[in-house]
Amino acid sequence: KGTAGSKADGTKAGSKADYQEVYNAIASKLDKDENYDDGSYGPVLVRLAWHASGTYDKKSGTGGSNGATMRFAPEANHGANAGLIHARNFMDEIHQQFPWITYSDLWTLGGVVAVQELGGPKVPWRPGRSDREEEHCAPDGRLPDGDKGHDHLRDIFYRMGFNDQEIVALSGAHALGRCHKDRSGFEGPWQHSPTSFNNEYFNLLLTEPWEFKKWDGPKQYVDKATKGLMMLTTDMALVQDKSFKKHVDRYAKDESVFFKEFSSAFSTLLELGVPQENFKNFEADHSGQQYVLK
């Protein structure tokens, strides 16, 4: 029963306090290297949590966050996962401090810590994921491509079990971080403060004049005024498609609505593919409820 091992003192790990300790260790290291990107590992940790979970296929029950199979070469080398080595190395250091936690729990918890510490909503989370071996690696091609349109977004996210409103809410994570030429081929941050989780992404989508970036790189947009901000084709699809745009409008108008709906969708994302028994069987003091850590 359960997935957490024993702590250094021989006692069983897995209480809420144990996970709060892991949370605190991650939080205290987000800014450990001021020269890394915009000064925080938070954004790349959110991307790791998302790519570890977003491989889920509802029909076959394969993929998802249960397994942390991106530890192995086949999945680590998928084009979509380029650059996530930075996040996995960060997490390896945390794992050395807390060897009792599964990588699957650790990587998803990292996404929660980053969202919360960078100013986003509280995200309910619970432990219980188990790590799986290489043969459970997700097949390539399960994650979205940034240069495609609304049909592709729906194909990918409906496959995970999400609806239009959740697609828009989850896309709001592009408040954080940036595209890197040497990872995805795209370039630039979505908003001016890429280490602050807020609803600026939705405001910019609605109000900024966007134009194609003039370069020999992949097709992407830049803001007309400064050319320092960017949007992917999939980001622009959110204002071009009526059923998506209605939610962009709601989130731009009221950040608290965005926070509430992002939190709920992100929490769901982080549990994709985890058998419910995993949560219920988890021993210690939580008997399957979600924790709100701080």
Closest chain position to ligand ZEM (CB)? 177
Q: Smaller CB distance to ligand ZEM: residue 39 or 275?
A: 39
Contact status: 90 vs ligand ZEM (CB under 6 A): no
Contact status: 113 vs ligand ZEM (CB under 6 A): no
Among the residue ranges 5-13, 45-53, 97-105, 134-142, the one whose residues contact ligand ZEM (CB under 6 A)? 45-53
What are the b/e assignments for 29-47, b being 16+ CB within 10 Å?
Answer: ebeeeeeebeebbbbbbbb
Contact status: 263 vs ligand ZEM (CB under 6 A): no
Q: Smaller CB distance to ligand ZEM: residue 4 or 239?
A: 239
Contact pick of 39, 83, 119, 161 for ligand ZEM (by CB under 6 A): 83
Contact status: 65 vs ligand ZEM (CB under 6 A): no
Say whether 190 is catalytic: yes
Q: 3-class secondary structure for the chain?
A: CCCCCECCCCCECCCHHHHHHHHHHHHHHCCCCCCCCCCCCHHHHHHHHHHHHCCCECCCCECCCCCCHHHCHHHHCCHHHCCCHHHHHHHHHHHHHCCCCCHHHHHHHHHHHHHHHCCCCCCCECCCCCCCCHHHCCCCCCCCCCCCCHHHHHHHHHHHCCCHHHHHHHHHHHHCCEECCCCCCCCEECCCCCCCCCCHHHHHHHHCCEEECCCCCCCCEEECCCCCCEECHHHHHHHHCHHHHHHHHHHHHCHHHHHHHHHHHHHHHCCCCCCHHHHHHCCCCCCCCCECCC
**Distance of alpha carbon 259 from alpha carbon 247, whole angstroms:** 13
Contact status: 232 vs ligand ZEM (CB under 6 A): yes
Catalytic annotation, pick one of 51, 86, 150, 247: 51
Contact status: 247 vs ligand ZEM (CB under 6 A): no
Contact pick of 13, 14, 22, 50 for ligand ZEM (by CB under 6 A): 50
Least distance from ligand ZEM to the Cβ atom of residue 84, Å: 8
Contact pick of 69, 108, 234, 267 for ligand ZEM (by CB under 6 A): 234
Question: Which tokens hold the place of 78?
Answer: 């998928």
Contact pick of 137, 183, 204, 248 for ligand ZEM (by CB under 6 A): 183
Least distance from ligand ZEM to the Cβ atom of residue 199, Å: 14
Interface pattern 119-158 for ligand ZEM (x via CB under 6 A)? -------------------------xxx------x-----
Say whether 51 is catalytic: yes
Least distance from ligand ZEM to the Cβ atom of residue 191, Å: 11
Contact status: 173 vs ligand ZEM (CB under 6 A): yes
Q: Are 52 and 72 in contact (CB under 8 A)?
A: no
Longest dimension (CA), the chain: 60
Contact status: 251 vs ligand ZEM (CB under 6 A): no
CA angle 259/212/159 to nearest 5° reads: 45
> Annotated catalytic sites, by residue?
51, 190
Q: Which residues bind ligand ZEM (CB under 6 A)?
A: 43-44, 46-47, 50, 83, 144-146, 153, 170-171, 173-174, 176-180, 183-184, 186, 232, 234, 266
